[in-house]
């Protein structure tokens, strides 16, 4: 094997390794959301009439609901920290950071010795309407992290596209027919660009949604935004998968020319 052929094989092997790494990361690019209207404990279950729960029962249930949401916020913060690229202005990160202390303050108020049953009903209900950890913050953070993973994969594939493009140009200069590889490279670039655009659109769709605070119209609008954002992420995932396959096609073509 010539020195030139050895270098080419080594380079295409490196490209394939990074492509395979990108393929492993693709699984993180499309989060699987629960239905936005069926996430855990999204309804307080407390009516304004009838006997209902006692003060002690409301305080205990409120403490459990807040604890559950604090744990979820911690999970979301870690997810976002692993892929923060799309939240450049920190809007979603701020939502996560602010909700934890606010929920703890609400929990302290609910548990206070002077709390009346009437006040407890209002404070308990606020856990579910004012701090939509599952209906708002979870899809926001998951989508933002997915967008960040899309950017990571796109960067890997863009780097591979440049490396492979140079090798295809060299093979063409040497007289090889690389028309198929060139077409694959063009498609690869288009798919990576489209994936990035859809990832950013998904982030933009959810970054500005707000807790509904009991407004059914806002709740429905938020749910629709989650569905729209998820569709964008699915498209981005498909684009990245197609770009990944394009890259493999180019690697195979180069190896066929220089086995």
Q: Where are the beta strands (DSSP E) in the chain?
A: none
95 vs 99: CA distance, rounded Å: 6
Give the per-residue pLDDT at 213: 87
CA distances to 43, 71, 82, 100, 133 from 75, rounded to whole Å, are 21, 6, 11, 12, 11
- Residue boundaries of the structural domains of the chain: 10-31+51-257
Instruction: Enter the pTM of the model.
Output: 0.82
154: left (phi over 0), alpha (psi -120 to 50) or beta: alpha
Please state, as a whole number, how many other Cβ atoms lie within 10 Å of the Cβ of residue 32. 6
Residue 133 gets which letter from DSSP? I
Instruction: Please state the φ and ψ torsions of residue 130, each to the nearest 5 degrees.
Output: -90, -25
Instruction: Please state the φ and ψ torsions of residue 59, each to the nearest 5 degrees.
Output: -65, -40
65 vs 71: CA distance, rounded Å: 10
SS3 165: helix
Give the per-residue pLDDT at 89: 87
Find out whether 26 and 244 touch, Cβ atoms under 8 Å.
Answer: yes
Please state, as a whole number, how many other Cβ atoms lie within 10 Å of the Cβ of residue 112. 12
| 63-119 pLDDT, tens digit each | 999 999 999 999 999 999 988 899 988 999 999 999 999 999 999 999 999 999 999
Contacts of 29 (CB under 8 A, 6+ apart): 146, 149, 150, 153, 199, 233, 236, 237, 240
Structure tokens at 122: 């209002």
Please state, as a whole number, how many other Cβ atoms lie within 10 Å of the Cβ of residue 214. 12
Please state, as a whole number, how many other Cβ atoms lie within 10 Å of the Cβ of residue 134. 21
| pLDDT, block means (10 residues), the chain with 259 residues | 46 51 53 47 56 91 96 94 90 93 96 95 93 91 91 90 93 95 97 96 93 90 92 91 92 86
């Amino acid at each position: 094997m010539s020195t030139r052929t050895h270098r080419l094989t080594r380079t295409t092997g490196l490209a394939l390794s990074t492509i395979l790494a990108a393929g492993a990361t693709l699984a993180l690019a499309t989060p699987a959301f629960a239905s936005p209207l069926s996430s855990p404990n999204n309804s307080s279950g407390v009516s304004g009439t009838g006997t209902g729960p006692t003060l002690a029962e409301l305080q205990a249930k409120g403490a459990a609901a807040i604890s559950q949401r604090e744990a979820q916020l911690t999970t979301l913060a870690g997810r976002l920290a692993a892929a923060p690229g799309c939240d450049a202005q920190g809007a979603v990160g701020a939502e996560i950071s602010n909700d934890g202390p606010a929920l703890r303050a609400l929990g302290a108020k609910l548990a206070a010795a002077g709390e009346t049953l009437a006040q407890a009903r209002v404070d308990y209900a606020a856990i579910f309407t004012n701090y939509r950890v599952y209906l708002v913050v979870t899809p926001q953070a998951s989508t933002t992290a997915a967008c960040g993973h899309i950017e990571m994969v796109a960067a890997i594939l863009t780097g591979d596209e440049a490396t492979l493009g140079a090798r295809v140009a060299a093979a063409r200069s040497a007289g090889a027919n690389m028309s198929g590889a060139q077409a694959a490279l063009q498609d690869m670039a288009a798919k990576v660009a489209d994936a990035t655009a859809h990832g950013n659109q998904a982030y933009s769709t959810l970054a500005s949604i707000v807790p509904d605070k009991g407004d059914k119209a806002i709740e429905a609008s938020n749910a629709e935004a989650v569905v729209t954002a998820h569709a964008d992420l699915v498209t981005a995932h498909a684009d990245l998968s197609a770009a990944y396959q394009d890259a493999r096609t180019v690697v195979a073509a180069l190896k066929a020319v220089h086995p």
